[in-house]
């Protein structure tokens, strides 16, 4: 039988809304799974923009290479004797392939660099194998239909429609402005027609890329909002995470160790400010500071046993703070007085005598 109280708790957990921002632990786990705020539109836009910009910069170089390829074709195919020599054809094809490779190489290099930079600017350095793991849920036809008619699918369809409309407009605008040259295209010389085609590709490509870059800014904002929304947690999830984290003995041990180290550093920083160090002399060391403007009685500013006592004495020697041996007083102060507290009344006389001796040494 299911306990009624447990059932109520379960229903409460399922019905609770995710209203709280994700914790650093939740964000770290999501990043390890490859779940980050990222827009593919940004990568595509930057890649296309830099590719077309590269084509524009290298247009003269590309033009020379293309004319070289075409001239080689025309030279071989207009020479009847060359057509019957396989070596000539083979050499021509190899040279054409090499020329084409030299055209494509710088453009592909820029595209690769643009892709890496665009991804890095969005998510930084990220390597995760979890997205590469097979997900058999994607083979489920019911889940596939749900994804097909989901909100994300509709948004992707809307983005694709907007992009197609705008690119179509840029093509129409270019054709409208250059309809006279298009009508006379068949009568153009080869060089002129190639220049016209190159200009058309670069103009339409750059306009479309800039448009995609503007749209990608909005898409990145949406992806960031969607990511933060999906990453949100319920109050109960935060409580459970806190229990798991704080309840971990290793985490608690590390926290306590850091606290001890910070406390020790703060205490050691007070040693040079002390008036005197009272020692056992080997097992205990207690730093005393008296300022009549701050307190009515001397205050213990640092104390330690064994190794810490040794460090206090060494620090005192480095800072020229007097070290006085008084076994019973050092033990009594160490056991009865905490750091930052005034010494007990019954020890006033003994401490006063030591301070008077120290002050007399300083006056001399």
pLDDT digit string, tens, across residues 213-262:
999 999 999 988 988 888 888 888 888 877 777 666 677 778 888 888 89
Summarize the confidence of residues 332-348 as an average pLDDT.
Answer: 90
Distance CA 103, CA 69 (A): 11
For domain 252-363, which CATH number applies: 3.30.70.2740, 1.10.260.40, 3.90.105.10, 3.40.1690.10? 3.40.1690.10
Q: What pLDDT was estimated at residue 292?
A: 83
Q: How confident is the model at residue 2 (pLDDT cuts 50, 70, 90)?
A: very low
Is it the case that residue 12 has pLDDT exceeding 70? Answer: no
Of the listed ranges 123-132, 167-176, 293-302, the one predicted with least confidence: 123-132
Neighbours of 235 (CB within 10 A): 12
Question: How many angstroms separate the first and last alpha carbons of the chain?
Answer: 88
Q: Measuring CA to CA, which residue among 23, 11, 21 is closest to residue 243? A: 23
Is it the case that residue 129 has pLDDT exceeding 70? Answer: no
Q: How confident is the model at residue 131 (pLDDT cuts 50, 70, 90)?
A: low
Largest CA distance in the chain: 123
Pick the residue with more confidence: 146 or 194? 194
* Average pLDDT of the residues of the chain: 82
Beta carbons of 286 and 303 less than 8 angstroms apart: yes
Residue 331: exposed, middle, or buried by beta-carbon count in 10 A (0-12, 13-18, 19+)?
A: middle
Summarize the confidence of residues 43-60 as an average pLDDT.
Answer: 90
Q: Which residues fall within 8 angstroms of residue 200, CB to CB, at 6 or more apart? A: 174, 178
Residue 261: exposed, middle, or buried by beta-carbon count in 10 A (0-12, 13-18, 19+)?
A: exposed
| Structure tokens, 54 | 């590269």
Q: Where in the chain is the domain with CATH 3.40.1690.10?
A: 252-363
């914790």: which residue's tokens? 23
Q: What are the distances in angstroms from CA 196 to CA 63, 174, 178?
A: 11, 11, 10
Q: What is the percent of the chain where pLDDT is above 90?
A: 20
Q: Measuring CA to CA, which residue among 162, 152, 156, 163 is closest to residue 226? A: 152
Q: What pLDDT was estimated at residue 164?
A: 93
Distance CA 26, CA 24 (A): 5
Q: What pLDDT was estimated at residue 11?
A: 46
H or E stretch including 299?
strand 299-305
Distance CA 243, CA 225 (A): 28
Q: What are the distances in angstroms from CA 200 to CA 155, 164, 174, 208, 275?
A: 31, 17, 7, 12, 86
């Amino acid at each position: 039988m299911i306990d009624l109280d447990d059932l109520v708790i379960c229903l409460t957990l399922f019905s609770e809304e995710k209203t709280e921002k994700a914790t650093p632990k939740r964000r770290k786990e999501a990043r390890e799974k490859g779940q980050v705020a990222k827009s593919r539109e940004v990568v595509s836009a930057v890649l296309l923009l830099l590719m077309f910009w590269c084509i524009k910069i290298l247009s003269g170089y590309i033009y020379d290479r293309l004319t070289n390829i075409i001239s080689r074709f025309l030279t071989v195919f207009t020479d009847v004797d060359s057509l019957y020599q396989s070596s000539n054809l083979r050499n021509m094809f190899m040279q054409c392939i090499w020329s084409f490779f030299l055209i494509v190489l710088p453009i592909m290099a820029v595209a690769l660099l643009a892709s890496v930079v665009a991804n890095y600017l969005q998510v930084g350095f990220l390597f995760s194998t979890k997205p590469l793991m097979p997900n058999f849920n994607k083979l489920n036809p019911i889940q596939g239909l749900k994804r097909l008619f989901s909100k994300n699918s509709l948004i992707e369809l809307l983005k694709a429609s907007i992009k197609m409309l705008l690119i179509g407009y840029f093509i129409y605008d270019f054709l409208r402005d250059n309809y006279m040259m298009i009508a006379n295209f068949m009568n153009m010389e080869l060089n002129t027609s190639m220049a016209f085609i190159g200009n058309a590709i670069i103009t339409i490509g750059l306009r479309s890329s800039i448009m995609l870059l503007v749209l990608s800014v909005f898409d990145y904002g949406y992806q960031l909002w969607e990511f933060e929304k999906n990453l949100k947690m319920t109050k109960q999830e935060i409580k459970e995470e806190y229990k798991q984290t704080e309840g971990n003995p290793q985490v608690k041990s590390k926290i306590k160790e850091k606290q001890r180290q910070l406390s020790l550093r703060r205490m050691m920083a007070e040693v040079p400010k002390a008036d005197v160090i009272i020692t056992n002399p080997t097992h205990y060391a207690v730093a005393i500071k008296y300022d009549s403007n701050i307190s009515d009685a001397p205050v213990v500013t640092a104390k330690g046993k064994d190794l810490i006592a040794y460090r206090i004495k060494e620090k005192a020697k480095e800072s020229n703070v007097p070290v006085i041996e008084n076994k019973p007083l050092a033990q009594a102060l160490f056991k009865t007085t905490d750091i930052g507290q005034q010494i007990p009344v019954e020890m006033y006389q003994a401490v006063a005598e030591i301070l008077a001796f120290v002050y007399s040494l300083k006056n001399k």
